[in-house]
């Protein structure tokens, strides 16, 4: 596969698995096209034209010729300068790495992470929070994340990749969409009665089963195993943690249990205050599951995947 084909495939599969309706995502792309068409010529030079087909600002080809052929990728959750050096070392020892695929964003994709957070507004609305309320409570959180990203040294890994001439890309929200949709469909279908039932279902998935061995598997952080789960919401996409104000609105909308990758103490306290049960599925395991579902698409097209950097690699022979 060419690098551009891998990039385009990741975006398309991300749209397919997006918790929003496909029509909603396509409307966003149409708005970007209209915005671009209305720009002056000098403004068009500064416009990121990837936005015309890719609605995920945290997913980008960061370095490399899009036409370059790829037979083997080195992939992991956090692919930073050390992993770029690892790719170079593997290549010198005979395991040629044609492309590095990170999950967590680097470079300009990291600085644009806040742009995908509006996805959370639609997810909240899907679970019964009025869209005007969802937009209202997310606005300040999105701005907070935007400001927090500004001081970061985004390009360290990208610079290393450029110096060693190893193509680098990141696939963030498209992978998160995969794990979010898979788990939500699973919970909707199986309708677990208790929190313990939820944990058992998660542990049937190999990434979570392996994570248990590392003390990083699924865990109940609010509630106990005998508590009834009620209405379950999987919250694993949309860039990063949302607004603390969402828990009261979700409780009013009837959500009983949240399944998340991770949760901060302020968010945990708000969930507790609103009697929402919380299960942490595990960060690396959840990211691995989502990224694996994307990488499987590459394997089916003849690309070899070398996992590292926290990726718990399991290949699924059939489409889920």
Tens digit of each residue's pLDDT, the chain (320 residues): 999 999 999 999 999 999 999 999 999 999 999 999 999 999 999 999 999 999 999 999 999 999 999 999 999 999 999 999 999 999 999 999 999 999 999 999 999 999 999 999 999 999 999 999 999 999 999 999 999 999 999 999 999 999 999 999 999 999 999 999 999 999 999 999 999 999 999 999 999 999 999 999 999 999 999 999 999 999 999 989 999 999 999 999 999 999 999 999 999 999 999 999 999 999 999 999 999 999 999 999 999 999 999 999 999 987 65
Domain segments of the chain as ranges = 3-176+286-308, 179-282
pLDDT computed for residue 317 by the predictor: 82
| 18 annotated as a binding-site residue | no
pLDDT computed for residue 97 by the predictor: 98
Helices assigned H by DSSP within the chain: 3-16, 22-37, 41-44, 81-92, 107-111, 119-126, 131-149, 156-164, 173-190, 195-203, 206-213, 246-252, 265-273, 283-299
Collapsing DSSP to helix, strand or coil, 214 comes out as: coil
Residue 225 structure tokens: 């195993």
Spatial distance between the Cα atoms of 294 and 320, rounded to a whole number of angstroms: 11
Residue 277 structure tokens: 């049960």
Q: How far is CA 248 from CA 124, 134, 255, 269, 274, in A?
A: 12, 12, 10, 11, 6
Spatial distance between the Cα atoms of 203 and 174, rounded to a whole number of angstroms: 23
pLDDT computed for residue 319 by the predictor: 61
pTM for the full predicted model = 0.95
Is the CATH code 3.40.50.300 the one for domain 179-282? no
Q: At what angle do helices 3-16 and 283-299 cross, to 10 degrees?
A: 120
Which candidate, 66, 168, 154, 158, places its Cα nearest to that of 114?
154
Which candidate, 127, 129, 312, 130, places its Cα nearest to that of 234?
127
| 235 annotated as a binding-site residue | no
């Amino acid at each position: 596969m060419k690098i551009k084909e891998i990039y385009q495939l990741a975006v398309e599969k991300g749209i397919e698995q997006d918790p929003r309706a496909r029509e909603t995502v396509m409307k966003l792309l149409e708005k970007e096209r209209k915005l671009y068409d209305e720009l002056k010529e000098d403004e068009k030079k500064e416009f990121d034209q990837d936005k015309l087909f890719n609605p995920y600002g945290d997913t980008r080809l960061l370095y490399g010729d899009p036409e370059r052929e790829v037979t083997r990728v080195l992939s992991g959750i956090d692919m930073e300068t050390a992993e770029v050096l690892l790719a170079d070392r593997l290549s010198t020892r005979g395991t040629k790495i044609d492309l590095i695929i990170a999950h967590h964003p680097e470079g300009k994709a990291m600085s644009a992470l806040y742009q995908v957070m509006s996805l959370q507004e639609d997810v909240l609305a899907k679970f019964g929070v009025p869209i005007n309320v969802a937009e209202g409570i997310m606005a300040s959180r999105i701005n907070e994340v935007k400001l927090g990203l500004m001081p970061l040294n985004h390009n360290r890994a990208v610079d290393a990749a450029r110096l060693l001439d190893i193509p680098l890309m990141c696939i963030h929200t498209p992978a998160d969409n995969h794990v979010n949709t898979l788990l939500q469909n699973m919970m909707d279908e199986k309708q677990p009665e208790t929190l313990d039932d939820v944990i058992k279902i998660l542990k049937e998935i190999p990434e979570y089963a392996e994570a248990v061995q590392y003390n990083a598997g699924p865990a109940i952080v609010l509630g106990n195993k005998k508590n009834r789960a009620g209405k379950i919401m999987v919250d694993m996409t949309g860039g990063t943690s949302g607004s603390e104000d969402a828990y009261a609105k979700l409780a009013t909308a009837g959500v009983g249990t949240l399944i998340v990758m991770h949760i901060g103490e302020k968010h945990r306290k708000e969930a507790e205050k609103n009697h929402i049960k919380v299960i942490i599925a595990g960060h690396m395991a959840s990211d691995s599951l989502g990224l694996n579902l994307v990488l499987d698409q590459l394997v089916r097209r003849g690309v070899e995947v070398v996992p590292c950097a926290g990726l718990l690699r399991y290949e699924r022979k059939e489409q889920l």
